Amino acid sequence: MIPCAYFMNIFKVARSIWIGMGITLKYFLNHKKTLCTIQYPREKDLIPARHRGIHYLETEKCVLCWKCSDICPVDCIYIEGVRGADGPLQGGYRGQKATLSKFTVDYTVCIFCGLCEEPCPPKCIWLGPEFDYHSTDRTMMEKNLLSDEVYTESDEVFVEWARGENERLQEEKKKQKEAEKAAKAAEKAAAVAVAEETPAEAAEETTEEASAEAAEENPEGEGDAAE
């Protein structure tokens, strides 16, 4: 008697191999159509709309409120700047003016939680679609959001310059205001002097008040002064 199961087994194996080889050959011959991969650094795939990637900052909107750096759970956002001076990088929101000299995110620390987006009053910081941030050096992992580049030594030079420039402008503004107030006070004093008989004492008092006001208008290092 012929062992049917034996020959059926061989037949089934041969048939399944035939089918399998047909499938792979079909894929091999149509590999240009069935291609699933991309040449990554040169080609990029679509990123989902809500993907949380590298930060972007709309500098002109920023009001320098420090909310993003305050809420950041890992404290990876570093901000420097002043409000109220017409500095080299000017932002503004509802009439307020902010001058940024440094706005960097340290990606060795950042966890891409997206919390910095939420409290931002002008919604000017957001996580973009890019995910491929890489470097050969730890110090290169800090991104300068003002220039959308890696934070480097030349940025440090710029920050130093901008800091000095801001301070200088602040000082100039203060002096200008003082001078204006002094002039106004002098005018007032003159007017008062015309009206009253003791003008010199009144002029002294008003200049003191003006300098105190100017000092209040320089809120460097304070978070929620913009409110």
Partner 1 sequence: MNLFAFTTIFAQAGKGLGEFAGDYSSKWDAGTYDGGLVFAGIIKWLVTTWGVPEWVPLSSILNGVLEASVFPEIGALLITIGLVFGFVNIFAIGAVWSERKVSAHMQCRLGPMEVGPHGILQTVADGLKLLAKEDIIPRLADKPLFALAPAIVFAGVLMRFVPLPFGDQLIASDLDLGLFFIAAVGAVEVLGVIMAGWSSNNKWSLFGTIRTATQMVSYEIPIGLAFITVIICSGSFSLMEIVNQQGGSLNASDGYVYGGWIWHWNLFRNPFMLVLSITYFIASLAECKRSPFDLPEAESELVSGFHTEYTGMRFALFFLAEYAAMYLVAAVAVVIFLGGWWSGIYPLDALGLGPEATTLTKTLGLLIKVGVFLSKAFALVFVQMWVRWTLPRIRLDQMMYVCWKVLLPISLVCLIGSCLWELASGGASVFGFGIVVE
Q: Which residues bind partner 1 (CB under 8 A)?
A: 6, 10, 17, 20-21, 23-25, 27-28, 31, 34-37, 39
Among candidates 157, 164, 163, 209, which has minimal Cα distance to 185? 209
DSSP of 184-221:
HHHHHHHHHHHHSS-HHHHHHHHHHHHHHHHHHT--TT
CB of 40 to partner 1, least distance (A): 11
CB of 23 to partner 1, least distance (A): 8
CB of 35 to partner 1, least distance (A): 6
Among candidates 50, 53, 77, which has minimal Cα distance to 65? 77
Q: Which is nearer to partner 1, 33 or 50 (CB)?
A: 33
CB of 7 to partner 1, least distance (A): 10
* Residue 109 CB partners (closer than 8 Å, separation 6+): 74, 75, 76
CB of 15 to partner 1, least distance (A): 13
**Residue 188 CB-density burial (10 A; 0-12 exposed, 13-18 middle, 19+ buried):** middle
CA angle in degrees (0–180, nearest 5) for 128-88-167: 120
Among candidates 72, 145, 61, which has minimal Cα distance to 102? 145
CB of 41 to partner 1, least distance (A): 10
Q: Which is nearer to partner 1, 24 or 198 (CB)?
A: 24
Q: Which is nearer to partner 1, 16 or 154 (CB)?
A: 16
Q: Which is nearer to partner 1, 10 or 47 (CB)?
A: 10
Q: Which is nearer to partner 1, 25 or 74 (CB)?
A: 25
Q: Which is nearer to partner 1, 39 or 198 (CB)?
A: 39
Among candidates 102, 200, 193, 97, which has minimal Cα distance to 143? 102
107-131 in b/e form (b: 16+ CB < 10 A) is: beebeeeeebbeebebebbebeeee
Structure tokens, 176: 């200008």
